């Protein structure tokens, strides 16, 4: 079955040094969080999987009795002063993945009995406010052995951005060791500042294909309380070494070596806050750390990112500041690896009209199984959107008979199996959004199409999307004029087999859809413009219909699509 392009966001609500490895069980997949983001973790499905190395897990996994013969391994932990470190946290994992557990370090020196074999040892050794991350990618355990995990071997991370206004706001470390079966033994961890972090590789370097390590740093302008609120600029770097872990790291970052992205953050209500984050993904890693940077109202943030990397973006609008605020809209997107330094890229977030958008592979039939997972209020730039909905529903009909229903906007669940053969289908989805959402307050979309049994690889459904692009300001309002001229496009799901598009029709309303007036639609470039007398009212609602020569049709309605001033 064709896989869908989807990101999963995992949330950590507290900023605790090196807390990225504190939970052995993964948090539930998003989008589910409703609180302001500080540090968060994003999963990219399809990346190399395997076993997580978790030094902060509860000790005990290595105290079991093994059926095979064992040899003693003594682990001596020394802090940066050379003293035993009872606060150290260590995990030992075998390359055959039969052993993976945290060690009870006791007073700082402990002995565990393990079967002979090849292991990875990872240790976090504290000294005062600093933490030394020590990694031995290969321990060939054949006889009684002692490993000294000496924090004095570790060197600091010295990364500096040539911008005197910014300070370190986050650092993340990534490590992946190829296991015997081709999967990975890996860990990721983060801290809220670069300063107290040291690192060292113990033992010899290995071939580049067996070990990969990365360090991500973020930088922003400190706010009045040091919380980086209202920062106008952020920097995110990513550096990677192969065949070894880091033993310290030095880099001076020149802004001109990074790619600048200017993000224009739109809002829908007075007193609302905006939160923006970029996540630069580490090579071959499945999970990635970042943090959000909040500000009041509509604003523009320039985000410098490492070139040649895959970058994920996240946005939130909330109805206020702090943990008690309500999520209005969350959106996500990607930045192309081909973006180059020396050129500024500008993107609008949360810009009206927020409306249905069926992107590639998000509505698919594989054999006789339907899957759908698309947004009902993606923004004008195509960023995928979701939020705290009051009521939502998605329904699928086959030849007029209801075959599936789900109380979520744009989703049919894990898959809906239908009868073999060709039939007429009706897919409808609707949402009533939270009262804090003053734009696109209610959205409904209906698609009708014919579909036959598809190949096992899957076929994209012939669904059309209507995207309106009014000339709104940063609060998603348009200056009232006597005549409304509303540009829009009609596009099919990429990869779908559709017919020739006929001329679409558009209606607008000034009273939240109680009455409608038809617009004149004219072609303009690759799209259209709907022209109508502007109705009385504080907002404009829109309703559009489109169909093609193959009989595929859609009707989409958005109430309070944008405001008038």
For residue range 60-90, what is the model confidence (pLDDT) as tens digits?
Answer: 667 667 888 999 999 999 999 999 999 999 9
Do 361 and 5 touch, CB atoms closer than 8 A?
Answer: yes
Q: Helices marked H in 281-403 — which ranges?
A: none
Supply the DSSP symbol for 501: B
Residue 565 Cα to chain centre, angstroms:
35
Q: In the prediction, which pLDDT does 17 show?
A: 31
User: 550 lies in a domain?
Assistant: yes
Q: What are the pLDDT tens digits along the chain (565 aa)?
A: 343 333 333 333 222 233 332 222 223 233 333 344 568 888 887 677 789 998 888 886 676 678 889 999 999 999 999 999 999 999 999 999 999 999 999 999 999 999 999 999 999 999 999 999 999 999 999 999 999 999 999 999 999 999 999 999 999 999 999 999 989 999 999 988 888 899 999 998 899 999 999 999 999 999 888 789 999 999 999 999 999 999 999 999 999 999 999 999 999 988 999 999 999 999 989 899 999 999 999 999 999 999 999 999 999 999 988 778 899 999 999 887 788 898 999 999 999 999 999 999 999 999 999 999 999 999 999 999 998 899 999 999 999 999 999 999 999 977 899 999 999 999 999 999 999 999 999 999 999 999 999 999 999 999 999 999 999 999 999 999 999 999 999 999 999 999 999 999 999 999 999 999 999 999 999 999 999 999 999 999 999 999 999 999 999 999 999 999 9
Do 428 and 463 touch, CB atoms closer than 8 A?
Answer: no
What does the alpha-carbon distance between residue 466 and residue 493 come to, in Å, rounded to a whole number?
Answer: 11
Q: In the prediction, which pLDDT does 337 show?
A: 76
Give the chain's domain count: 1
Do 37 and 275 touch, CB atoms closer than 8 A?
Answer: yes
Q: In the prediction, which pLDDT does 61 show?
A: 61
User: 259 lies in a domain?
Assistant: no
Give CA separation, 106 vs 22, 89, 369, in Å.
19, 10, 55
User: 463 lies in a domain?
Assistant: yes
Q: Is 105 exposed, middle or buried (0-12, 13-18, 19+ CB in 10 A)?
A: buried
**Tokens coding 357:** 């958008």
Q: How is the beta sheet containing 459-460 ordered, strand by strand?
A: 416-417, 369-372, 363-366, 459-460
Domain that holds residue 462: 355-564
319 Rama class: left (phi>0) / alpha (psi -120 to 50) / beta? alpha
391 three-class SS? strand
User: 507 lies in a domain?
Assistant: yes
Name 420's Cβ contacts closer than 8 Å, sequence gap at least 6.
368, 453
User: 166 lies in a domain?
Assistant: no
pLDDT in tens, 508-534: 999 999 999 999 999 999 999 999 999
Give CA separation, 61 vs 37, 92, 99, 103, 438, in Å.
33, 10, 8, 8, 52
What does the alpha-carbon distance between residue 131 and residue 17 come to, in Å, rounded to a whole number?
Answer: 9
What does the alpha-carbon distance between residue 239 and residue 308 come to, in Å, rounded to a whole number?
Answer: 11
User: 158 lies in a domain?
Assistant: no
Do 495 and 443 touch, CB atoms closer than 8 A?
Answer: no
User: 192 lies in a domain?
Assistant: no
User: 102 lies in a domain?
Assistant: no
Q: How far apart, in Å, do the first and last CA atoms of the chain sit?
A: 49
- Looking up tokens 């073999």 gives 420
Cross-strand bridge partners of residue 375: 357
């Amino acid at each position: 079955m064709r896989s869908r392009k989807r990101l999963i966001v995992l949330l950590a609500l507290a900023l605790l040094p090196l807390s990225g490895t504190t939970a052995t069980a993964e948090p539930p997949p998003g989008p589910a969080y409703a609180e302001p983001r500080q540090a968060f973790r994003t999963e990219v499905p399809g990346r190399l999987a395997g076993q997580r190395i978790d030094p902060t897990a509860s000790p005990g996994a290595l105290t079991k009795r093994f059926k095979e013969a064992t040899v003693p391994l003594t682990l001596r932990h020394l802090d940066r002063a050379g003293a035993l470190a009872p606060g150290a946290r260590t995990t030992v994992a075998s390359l055959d993945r039969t052993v993976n557990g945290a060690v009870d370090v006791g007073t700082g020196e402990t002995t565990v009995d393990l079967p002979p074999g090849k292991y990875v040892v990872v240790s976090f050794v504290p000294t005062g406010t600093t933490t030394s991350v020590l990694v031995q990618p290969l321990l060939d355990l054949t006889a009684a052995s002692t490993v000294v995990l000496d924090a004095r071997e570790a060197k600091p991370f010295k990364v500096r951005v040539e911008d005197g206004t910014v300070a370190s706001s986050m650092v993340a470390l990534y490590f992946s060791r190829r296991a015997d079966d081709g999967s990975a033994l890996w860990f990721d961890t983060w801290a809220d500042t670069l300063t107290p972090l040291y690192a060292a590789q113990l033992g010899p370097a290995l071939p580049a294909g067996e070990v990969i390590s990365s360090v991500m740093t973020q930088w922003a302008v400190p706010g009045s309380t040091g919380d980086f609120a209202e920062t106008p600029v952020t920097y995110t770097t990513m550096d990677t070494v192969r065949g070894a872990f880091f033993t310290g790291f030095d880099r001076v970052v020149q802004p001109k070596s990074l790619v600048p992205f200017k993000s224009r953050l739109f809002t829908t209500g007075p007193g609302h806050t905006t939160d923006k984050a970029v996540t630069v993904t580490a090579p071959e890693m499945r999970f990635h750390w970042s943090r959000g940077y909040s500000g009041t109202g509509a604003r523009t943030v320039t985000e410098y990112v490492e070139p040649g990397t895959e970058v994920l973006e996240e946005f939130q609008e909330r109805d206020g500041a702090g943990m008690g605020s309500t999520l209005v809209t969350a959106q996500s997107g990607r930045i192309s690896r081909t973006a180059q330094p020396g050129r500024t890229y500008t993107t609008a977030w949360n810009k009206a009209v927020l409306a249905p958008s069926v992107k590639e592979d998000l509505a698919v039939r594989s054999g006789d199984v339907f899957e759908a997972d698309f947004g009902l209020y993606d923004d004008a730039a195509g960023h995928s959107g979701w939020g705290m909905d009051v009521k939502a529903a998605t329904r699928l009909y086959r030849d007029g008979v209801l075959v599936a229903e789900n109380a979520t906007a744009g989703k049919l669940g894990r898959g809906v199996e239908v009868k073999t053969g060709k039939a007429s289908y009706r897919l409808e989805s609707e949402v009533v959004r939270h009262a804090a959402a003053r734009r696109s307050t209610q959205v409904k979309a209906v698609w009708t199409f014919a579909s036959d049994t598809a190949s096992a690889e899957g076929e994209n459904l012939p669904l059309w999307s209507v995207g309106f692009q009014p000339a709104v300001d940063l609060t998603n309002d348009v200056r009232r004029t006597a005549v409304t001229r509303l540009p829009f496009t009609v596009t099919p799901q990429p990869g779908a087999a559709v017919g020739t598009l006929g001329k679409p029709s558009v209606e607008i309303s000034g009273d939240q859809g109680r009455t409608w007036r038809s617009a004149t639609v004219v072609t303009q470039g690759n799209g259209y413009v709907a022209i109508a007398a502007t109705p009385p009212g504080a907002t404009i609602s829109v309703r559009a219909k489109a169909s093609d020569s193959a009989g595929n049709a859609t009707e989409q309605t958005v109430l309070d699509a944008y405001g008038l001033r």
